[in-house]
Structure 1
Amino acid sequence: MTGKTDVVVIGGGYAGVLAANRLTQRDDVTVTLINPRSHFVERIRLHQLVAGSGDAVVDYREVLAEGVQLIVDTVTEIDVAARTVGLASGGMVGYDYMIYAVGSGSTEPQVPGAAEFAYPINTLEEAQRLRPVLGAAPATAAVTVVGAGPTGLEVAAELAEQGRKVTLVCGSVLGPYLHPRGRRSVAKRMAKLGVTVLEGPAATVTAVTPDVVRLSGGHTLRSAVTIWTAGFGVPDLATRSGLSTDAVGRLLTDETLTSVDDVHIIAAGDSAAPSNLPFRMSCQSATRIGAHAADTVLSRIADQQPAPINLGFAGQCLSLGRRAGLFQVAANDDTATKFHLAGGPAAKLKEFVCRQALKHLADEARKPGSLTWIKDEKRRELLQAKRSEVLSVR
């Protein structure tokens, strides 16, 4: 290519910011980041915002490279043929390449009453809406947290540590990703905090009212505040724009993170489904996938073949209040192992990880191309197994 190459990044979360910063390696690339908020949101701290034990908002000047133009607006459509994106304000931005990093959020629950009477906390606005509700509720009011993934565990522990009466409804099992040993450690911490944990087939929510949560086992829980952390959804922008997506709405890509429909569109973060085998959502994966998305764009600009993504994991960090936590060690392929770190040391490690996530963004802004990551060779085996499964069905 000759002249300037315009790259638009949609979404200013961990993946989008890392990608935008990394793209500034080349002086002949103009980078535009489009995000609906004028500040960066530390999503991994939203449970602290809800509990009033911390904040989750950071000035973009702390994490975004000076050479990146920030447009505070919402992308409403992608015109693939014209290579433009339409904005809610009525404007339009053209691109040579686009990185689709719209992230993820809550999906409207199908349980009767949940959408009306339960509070999701997957976005800043949702967390801000819940904060005053909790603040107005008496300290003795019953709080029900639905969902025992990382968000559910963290908000339940955070509130219980403050003396709240919390019931955690798991639906199936406490911390599905965790190894049994790690799960027992979390259960022990929840018991110490006084959290009532409901697991198993009888612990599925069937209805929510303003002051009651009904369960599949026939039980009824009094609940002054119900917090909904179950479910996963992504914005439907790609689907509405006629791009191929998976069943959830993530953009379908090849292993270089390039859209299966258009080589000028690359996906990153929670909204990417490479080979229809998306990675587990986390800030760890989001930043690395964002970096790889940028590398794919830079390779195409240089007329080079982009490399397939090779991303390994170290584990998962959980905060269980301000004084304890859990680090679940994982193999490079993200399989939980029997090893874990718990208690105060794990809480300190989680705080370190949160700070490092921001540092990675800031470091990439100052020295683009510097982020490195763990590799995992087992993904090839997963892909081969998937292909074999498809062929056997045919």
Structure 2
Amino acid sequence: MTGNVDVAVVGGGYAGVMAANRLTQRGDVAVTLINPRRTFVERIRLHQVVGGSHEAVVDYREVLAEGVRLVVDTVTRIDAAERSVTVAAGGTIGYDYLIYAVGSGSADPDVPGAAEFAYPIASMEDAQRLRPVVDAAPTTAPVTVVGAGPTGIETAAELAEAGRVVTLVCGGPLGPYLHARGRRSVAKRLARLGVTVLEGLDTTVTAVTRDAVRLGGGREVSSAVTIWTAGFGVPDLAARSGLSTDALGRLLTDETLTSVDDARIVAAGDSAAPSDLPFRMSCQAATRIGAHAADTVLARIAGEQPAPINLGFFGQCISLGRRAGIFQFASKDDTAIGWYIGGGPGAKLKEFVCKQTVKHLADEASKPGSLTWVKDDKRQELLRARRGEAATR
């Protein structure tokens, strides 16, 4: 390939920014990052936006390499045959390679009344819409948070610490990822903050009204403000563009993160489904997957065979208000273990992780190719076992 190689990165979150920065290792690669917002959003701080303790935005000049062209727009369609994307403002942007890093959001809730009366918190726009609603509600007004993953736990704790009356409806276990020991620590902290935790099979939400949340067990919880953190969804851009996706809409790829339909399209972050076995949603995974996506493109430009992704994990970090938190350690295959750091040290570690994640992006901007990560060979073992099971059917 002669002359510049044009690479379009669709999505400017953790994965997209990391990929764009890493691509600048080659001087003959022209990188265009297309994102609907002018600022980088620290998604792992959105609960703080609602609670009023952080704005969760960073100027792209602080995290994006100087050589990356930023286009503030929304991609409405990918034309793989023409190697171009259509943007909402009109016109198209061509590419030689495309990195698909559109991120994730809330799934459209199919619970009656949820779309009308509950507030999602998966995007900056969601958080900004919710914040004045919470501020306008009397302090004694009951707030119900639906969903007991990290976002639900963090939102419930943040608002309770600010003096709100909060009920956390789990729809199952509290913190499904957590080890039993870590779960007990989180439950104790939430109890100290005054959060009412409703967990178990009978806490599945069956309906949401203007002033209540109804549960499968027949119970009704009063709620002046209902916050919906349950479910996972991704933009439908890949599906609308005729690309193969998994059941949730993530782009199907091989282990190098290359689309099963087109070797010129590589996925990164929450919107990637390598071997139909996606990684857990986290900023840790997003940055590393973004880096690997860039490495795959760079390998193809160099005429080399891209390597399969090999990603290990440390665990999961959850804030429990501003004064406490938990870091749940995990084995490299992302299975939670009995060790955790809680309380004040847990809060400091969570804040360190938030700041360090932004620093990783800035470091990659100034020194592309510098990010490294933990490896884990168990994924390949799992894939081989799954292929073996499929072959015997």
For Structure 1 versus Structure 2, the TM-score category normalised by the shorter chain is over 0.9
Taking the aligned partners of 2:197 and 2:66, their CA distance within structure 1 comes to 47
Taking the aligned partners of 1:378 and 1:232, their CA distance within structure 2 comes to 25
Taking the aligned partners of 1:288 and 1:175, their CA distance within structure 2 comes to 24
Taking the aligned partners of 2:166 and 2:392, their CA distance within structure 1 comes to 48
Taking the aligned partners of 2:380 and 2:264, their CA distance within structure 1 comes to 25
Aligned position for 1:6: 6
Aligned position for 2:105: 105
Task: Say which SS state the counterpart of residue 261 (structure 2) adopts.
Answer: coil
1:164-223 Cα shifts (integer Å, max 9, x gaps): 100000000000000000000000101111100001111010000010100000001110
Aligned position for 1:19: 19
Aligned positions of 1:1-394 closer than 5 A: 1-393=1-393
Taking the aligned partners of 2:390 and 2:83, their CA distance within structure 1 comes to 33
Shift of 1:382: 1.1
Task: Say which SS state the counterpart of residue 98 (structure 1) adopts.
Answer: strand
Task: Say which SS state the counterpart of residue 98 (structure 2) adopts.
Answer: strand
Shift of 1:157: 0.3
Task: Say which SS state the counterpart of residue 277 (structure 1) adopts.
Answer: coil
Shift of 1:54: 1.1
Taking the aligned partners of 2:372 and 2:234, their CA distance within structure 1 comes to 27
Shift of 1:390: 2.0
Shift of 1:235: 0.3
Shift of 1:91: 1.4
AA at the equivalent of 1:170? C
AA at the equivalent of 1:34? I
AA at the equivalent of 2:178? L
Task: Say which SS state the counterpart of residue 369 (structure 2) adopts.
Answer: coil
AA at the equivalent of 2:220? T
Task: Say which SS state the counterpart of residue 70 (structure 2) adopts.
Answer: strand
1:223-248 Cα shifts (integer Å, max 9, x gaps): 00000000000000000111010000
Moved over 4 A (4+): none
AA at the equivalent of 2:149? G
Taking the aligned partners of 2:382 and 2:136, their CA distance within structure 1 comes to 49
1:126-181 Cα shifts (integer Å, max 9, x gaps): 00000000000000000000000000000000000111100000000000000000
Q: Scaled by the length of structure 2, what TM-score is found?
A: 0.99
Shift of 1:387: 1.1
Shift of 1:64: 0.4
Shift of 1:386: 1.6
Taking the aligned partners of 1:96 and 1:125, their CA distance within structure 2 comes to 32
Taking the aligned partners of 2:240 and 2:392, their CA distance within structure 1 comes to 32
Taking the aligned partners of 2:170 and 2:274, their CA distance within structure 1 comes to 29
Aligned length: 393
AA at the equivalent of 2:169? V
Taking the aligned partners of 1:149 and 1:215, their CA distance within structure 2 comes to 18
Taking the aligned partners of 2:179 and 2:255, their CA distance within structure 1 comes to 28
Shift of 1:391: 2.1
Taking the aligned partners of 1:202 and 1:98, their CA distance within structure 2 comes to 45
Taking the aligned partners of 1:183 and 1:392, their CA distance within structure 2 comes to 39
Shift of 1:381: 1.2
AA at the equivalent of 1:128? Q
1:86-131 Cα shifts (integer Å, max 9, x gaps): 0001110000000000000011100000000000000000000000
AA at the equivalent of 1:277? L
Task: Say which SS state the counterpart of residue 201 (structure 2) adopts.
Answer: coil
AA at the equivalent of 1:389? E
Taking the aligned partners of 2:369 and 2:154, their CA distance within structure 1 comes to 33
Taking the aligned partners of 2:326 and 2:384, their CA distance within structure 1 comes to 33
1:53-77 Cα shifts (integer Å, max 9, x gaps): 1111111000000000000000000
AA at the equivalent of 2:208? V
1:22-53 Cα shifts (integer Å, max 9, x gaps): 00000000000000001100000000000111
Identity of aligned residues (%): 77
Task: Say which SS state the counterpart of residue 326 (structure 1) adopts.
Answer: strand
CA root-mean-square deviation: 0.6
Taking the aligned partners of 2:91 and 2:186, their CA distance within structure 1 comes to 49
Q: Scaled by the length of structure 1, what TM-score is found?
A: 0.99
Taking the aligned partners of 2:39 and 2:264, their CA distance within structure 1 comes to 27
Shift of 1:270: 0.1
Shift of 1:256: 0.4
AA at the equivalent of 2:212? V
